[in-house]
Structure 1
Amino acid sequence: MSQFFMNEKGDLVNEAIEGVLLSTPWHNLSRLDLGDDIRVVVRNDWDKSKVALISGGGSGHEPAHAGFVGKGMLTAAVCGDIFASPSVDAVLSAIINVTGEAGCLLIVKNYTGDRLNFGLAAEKAKNLGYKVALVMVQDDIALPENPQPRGIAGTALIHKIAGYAAEQGEPLEQVQALAQRAIEATATIGLAFATCHVPGEARDERVKPGQSELGMGIHGEPGVTTLETQNSREIVAIMTEKLAKTLPEQKKALLLVN
């Protein structure tokens, strides 16, 4: 029995994007007409004299990524299949369609497929004469020994901070520098009571009733430890202690609760 409210699995991503376009209250979003397999949501009120911001990744993480397209945030979102990175061609199509002389910044989450495909698209775009920069979000602190920290919820803050700079007309170098500074100052820790799963596939039942997993990845990747509790006060105390260690002394912090 399905746990998903959907029509057909094969149409799920395209229909979800169609729903976003129809429901936006400002009627400021469009999808590039490049076929069913290239899914790029763009601002249709975009001013190419400003730096464009492009992000994206696998679908199934709503409201990311199409939900962050709009004034003061992303110019375009490139949507892959569920939990699968968009293709190089899809990212390149986004760059070509929204980038003017001011250039574009790619905001990429630190996953192998995203790094590879966005990186290759950036190089192809540069060879075509486009001005492209890239930043890599890696805000996950749950696995302290991980040489490749994952990009997770903090990515939304990077969209917002870089988006503000771009909206003010800052040059690409400044927008990239501000985004990188924000990335280095962002720390995220996650927790889940159960794994997520792809429609039509069985859920991994490794988290038992009454337990929670600290640091589970957004695709269900294993976290750092299993906690024998689902008590909110106990869990928040553990997470807050770990996050507090990343804060500079006497500095204010912005808290995002997702």
Structure 2
Amino acid sequence: MGAFSFLCAIFLVNSCQMQGSSAVTPVFVQKGKDVLLNIMTADVPENLFILSWRFNQKDVLVTFFPDKEPTVSNNYTGRIETDVKKYSLKLKNLQEADNGVYTARVTGSEEERILAEYNVTVQGPVSPVELSVDSSVSSSSDSCNLTVTCRTQDSHISSTFTCDTQTCSPEGGERSEVTTSAASLHVYLLNDSIICNHSNQVSWTEDIKKAKHFCPQHADPDKQDKNVIVPVLVAFTIVLIAVVAAVCYHRKRLK
């Protein structure tokens, strides 16, 4: 057998021996927080020789040995906590440099396989949002248009809502986009509230404005009815008092 054939045979053997799930679990962590990475202990072979956690397939973070304390890499001293019974890895105070794939790999007497794999993404908290509303009343005075602008530190979107005496609706549908910081900026309508939401997988913030504050036509119909009824009742009462007073005065003169 030639050298090339021999190397191919070795590669095929190693490929068959490297067993386990190839599924990578996505995990999102807020910057400065901790992450706990677990494995299924039932998958750990009884003839365990070495179980190691690696970062991006090269840096060994921690190594577990049978009946011994785990060994933590010098570069991660003080940042890693382990559980000997569960073979878990807790990485503390995550930063952007910690983005990557974390793999738990076990070596027994006969095989080597992957037990768990996590793709960790570290994100900062999203910035606050500011929702501004400009309104214009139509010439018919039975509807109004609201131009809504939602701003963050690095992005903004605008949308237009049309409101009548009963409802508001967005022109062209709800607006959303991904900002330069990979967060989501979304403007939508919920009941009579216009909401701007800024969020990523680890945090969110929002600003809310009431449509009826900018669109008088969209005020509470019951309140509008009351505003009409009250003046009518007052006028009727005044007229009634005047009529009663006139009748009393007329009777007094006839005596």
TM-score per shorter chain, which class? under 0.3
Q: Scaled by the length of structure 1, what TM-score is found?
A: 0.21
Q: Scaled by the length of structure 2, what TM-score is found?
A: 0.22
Tell which structure's C-alpha radius of gyration is larger.
Answer: 2
